[in-house]
Structure 1
Amino acid sequence: MTNTVRYDFNGKHAVVTGGAAGIGQACVQQFVNAGAHVSIWDRDPQALQVAQALHGSKVHTVQVDVSDAASVAQALASSTNYCPHIDILLNSAGITGPNATVVDYPLSEWDRVFAINVRGTLLACQAVVPVMKLAGQGKGIGRIVNIASVAGKEGNPNASAYSASKAAVIGLTKSLGKELALTGITVNCITPAAVRTGMFDQMTQQHIDFMLSKIPMNRFGSVDEIAHLVMWLSSDACSFSTGAAFDISGGRATY
């Protein structure tokens, strides 16, 4: 797919959690192409090294566990040392967890999914929002985009932790968007249908086939298609949408 839309993010600093792989990685590339400086927060040190080598001084990499408050605080300090202001936060870090029925779902895995998908999103927002507010003497313009999922709207069978955690991300987005509505900081999320990334390695083939069967376009989304929507939500053009969930599901979503 050819991208005919051009965004200008020169002078902007974006923080992307989970930015060394999958959707986050595609968004990092788009941000860099548009002139932004990017702080990549990711737990995979080897993937971070690859990203640093690819993008050079346009990116700053930090190994971080988004579910750990101290780790996020250290990442914030490192990123603001690289660039004092933060204009964009993309919460892309996430895991699917195992495929199992609700009655058989391991509690330890349930807690791990929520720690990364929900607590991680919360901690990143708690860390970055005060920095965004400081810009322009409390009148800063910031953009927060959270990666949720159509599973958070519909609830996929045998994926209760993932579905429930993404529903929580949608709710968190709506709450924070309303809280920040008068600050110049917008908060939105996107609800993709399945996108073929490394996360598929965490799923059974049966579950992958089920997800494909639910998409009227009969194909999975691409990371670049998701990234294009993220770019608009991160831009100054997106000025009257906040606390919203944007569908990008190949026709699957019904609301």
Structure 2
Amino acid sequence: MRTPRVAFLLYLLTGLLMGSCQAPAVHMEGKTTAGGQQYSIFYPQRLAVRIITARPDVANSRVHLSVAAAYTDLDTDQPLDLLVSPGRAVQAKATVGFLDGVLTITGDSLRITQIPRGQSPPGAELARVQRQHGTLLLQELLVFRGRNVRGAGGSFFQRRALAELPNHRFAVVESQADDLTMQQFAADLLELGALNAINLDMGGWDEGWYRAGTQVVKLGHRRTDTNRQSNWLVFEQPVAEK
């Protein structure tokens, strides 16, 4: 028969062992393509996802991954084509003509879809997202239904994307190189297993971070326009239901 003291010590030891074996909230994995391009892939584990327009606080231990999402309007310093956020109609239609990807967040559901360039999502879709208190933004589409949708040419940058992998698993993918076109990035995303992928803001707006245990690791190489970042894609610990 165990004494109460021994039982209590065993209980504490079991709790410590279970805690040490828990998977991190964001699992980071490095991968290299056949062409030699190196990528960091961040897999959120059972985290809620949101688009927010107030800078996330690194002291908030619930937030485990934060990256820029939609582009920032250079004239207003406001998010560019963030149409519904969250549940509130911010814009009635798209304001620029080159964004062909739609990221929709409703509850715990993420969806990447395509629209013709220069058009807006149907009004019925915007209303549906509003009713479900969701978020909808436009960005440049990289991969759709297993196909590279980017044309040749364009600028060279470090690249980052939100990618949908098989089994409806999502990950944030970031290149190590600073000299990738969107077409090359999309081709690499396909090789890394992406079925759908949407671009995330980079260049001077590239600052992000993730929580690795007790450390906060910064992402992005330039970070020159950090103070102008207007919106963030964050993965955070869900709020416990009461």
TM-score range (shorter-chain normalised) is under 0.3
Instruction: Tell me the TM-score normalized by structure 2.
Output: 0.24
Q: Which has the higher helix share?
A: 1
Q: Which has the higher strand share?
A: 2
Q: Rg larger in 1 or in 2? A: 2
Instruction: Tell me the TM-score normalized by structure 1.
Output: 0.23
